[in-house]
Copies of this chain bind each other. A is one copy, B any other.
Amino acid sequence: MQLHKRDVVEAATTLLDTYGIADLTMRRLARELDVSPGALYWHFANKQQLLGAVADRILDGVPSATGVVDVCNRLRDALLSHTDGAELVSASFAAGQSEAMTGVLARLTEAAAEAGVDSAHAELAARTVVYYVLGFTADEQSRLQWDAAGAELPGEQSVLTEDPSARFAFGLHLLVNGIAVHSDSVVGGRD
């Protein structure tokens, strides 16, 4: 029976959702698919490539969003939809293995440029937004997963989980304003 790349990514995503990123190993995945580990390496040179493919599956459609707020909301929703999604995508982004994150970065860079950020800084502004979204969502997801596991969190932490969407929007708002100020200071105001 031929092993399709698509099926490997599907099985890896199921492993992730069921057991979390720590149990997503090539060995474990091969066992689930009832193939030898070597069969997986025919599709993926290493685990980083596999994680990148899972990241791209998780982020399916996100790069087609437009505008900073829309891209970021869809990115957060996608990350929260899979166990350890934020951690997996952060790792894939840092390793440059996720095409979808490259697309997300391109959309945000375009949005920053449209808001008036000069070309030398537009990609940096986009990365600042990405770090915020990944950092916020990784934190939010850790708390959600700890809560689900019945772990006790210190009192102050539980208060801070109130209305995470409003909290997320506030930080985005700060960044969008910061980008607008930068643009004004560089081009001497726009109208």
- Residue A139 CB within 8 A of the other chain: yes
Beyond A91-B142, A94-B142, is A174–B131 a contact (Cβ under 8 Å)? no
CA distance A156 to B156 in the complex (A): 41
Beyond A139-B90, A181-B180, is A95–B128 a contact (Cβ under 8 Å)? no
A93: chain B residues at CB < 8 Å are 139
Tally of this chain's copies: 2
Main secondary structure of the interface of A (DSSP, over half): helix
A131: chain B residues at CB < 8 Å are 131-132, 135-136, 139, 171
A97: chain B residues at CB < 8 Å are 154
Q: A179 touches which one: B91, B153, B174 (CB < 8 A)? A: B174
Q: A153 touches which one: B96, B128, B130 (CB < 8 A)? A: B96
- Residue A33 CB within 8 A of the other chain: no
A142: chain B residues at CB < 8 Å are 91, 94-95
A156: chain B residues at CB < 8 Å are 96, 102
